[in-house]
Amino acid sequence: MDQSPHPRELEDEARYRAYLFGTPRLYIDGEPAQQGWVARRRAWEILVWFLLNPGKPAMAEALADQLWPGDDPERIASTFHVSLHALRRALEPGLGRRQESAYIRRHSNKVYSFDPGELWWTDVADLEQVHRSGHAAERAGDLARARFCYRRVAGYVAQGKLLDGEVCDWIEPYRRRYRQMCQQSLTRLMMLEAGDGSEHDLIEAAYLTLKIDPYNQLATKVIIENRLRSGRRPAAAEQLAKYCRSLKADLGVPVPDEIAALVHRVQTA
């Protein structure tokens, strides 16, 4: 029996809770962080980078160049340190003038890292954990646990993309990374539910997969076959035609053999 705490328990007990999927939100001691400092955008951007890279050292100027590539190079270092100071004060208002932060670590040569410890909880870290746990549980034959983990990943997909609304080049690699994790978990969930699981959970996973990968063949097939089984041939034909048009118009690729066979099934149903 798995003795690890339930993910909700870890979330509930954390002093700092950061939600980065969908509209980003930060809670401190259960209360929304005051917007006064979040509005100081650069302090917020430093925090977001730290949360996406816990424990990873970064040189101040290199990180500033990554976050604000269009800034004056002669002022960017001072801008970074002013913003970092604002972040320290926002996270730990009682911090003394020369007192070290419990989370922001200063190393030599203006190198910094972020140590969340046990007081922080983030949805991105939770997604990574349940993604790994789901695959480990499936390998161990614990399919109930695997389904639970994959469904939790699906919940994050439903929230929206990472830092929704933010337009920054440096965020894109993280979006691709988490999108890949979500695709992998949702694919496994569909495979499990298609075996002996819930039809409703199977369809939900398929639609969420199409939300992040509109050309996903497995998800499209799941939805169309569901419509055929329920006697909704026109709806199945419409979904299939839309998918085939998208493949040709958007990707310039031919219809895969498996989808071509599905076209024949729909036409003869």
- What pLDDT is stored for residue 43 in this prediction? 93
Cα end-to-end span (Å), the chain? 46
- The two tokens of residue 183 are 């695709």
Q: What would the mean pLDDT of 55-83 be, rounded to a whole number?
A: 90
CATH architecture of 14-121: Orthogonal Bundle (1.10)
Q: Write the DSSP symbol of residue 9.
A: H
Task: Using CA atoms of 176, 181, 185, 188 in order, give the dihedral in degrees to the nearest 10.
Answer: 80
pLDDT beyond 90 at 170: yes
Average pLDDT, rounded, for the chain: 90
Question: 207: number of CA atoms within 13 Å, CB side?
Answer: 8
Question: 153: number of CA atoms within 13 Å, CB side?
Answer: 31
Q: What would the mean pLDDT of 188-193 be, rounded to a whole number?
A: 94
Between 267 and 48, residue with greater pLDDT: 48
Could you report the per-residue pLDDT of 18-52, keeping only the tens digit for each? 999 999 999 999 999 866 555 588 999 999 999 99
Q: How confident is the model at residue 95 (pLDDT cuts 50, 70, 90)?
A: confident
pLDDT beyond 60 at 129: yes
What is the side-by-side order of every strand in the sheet holding 31-32? 31-32, 25-28, 16-19, 120-122
Give the helix/strand (H/E) hosting 45: helix 41-52
- What pLDDT is stored for residue 38 in this prediction? 53
Domain ranges of the chain: 14-121, 218-269
- What pLDDT is stored for residue 75 in this prediction? 87
Could you report the per-residue pLDDT of 201-227, keeping only the tens digit for each? 999 999 999 999 999 999 999 999 999
What's the whole-model pTM score? 0.88
- The two tokens of residue 265 are 């099934």
How far apart (Å, rounded) are the C-alpha atoms in residues 259 and 261? Answer: 5
Q: Where are the alpha helices (DSSP H) in 101-253?
A: 123-139, 143-159, 172-196, 199-212, 217-229, 233-246
- The two tokens of residue 77 are 């270092």
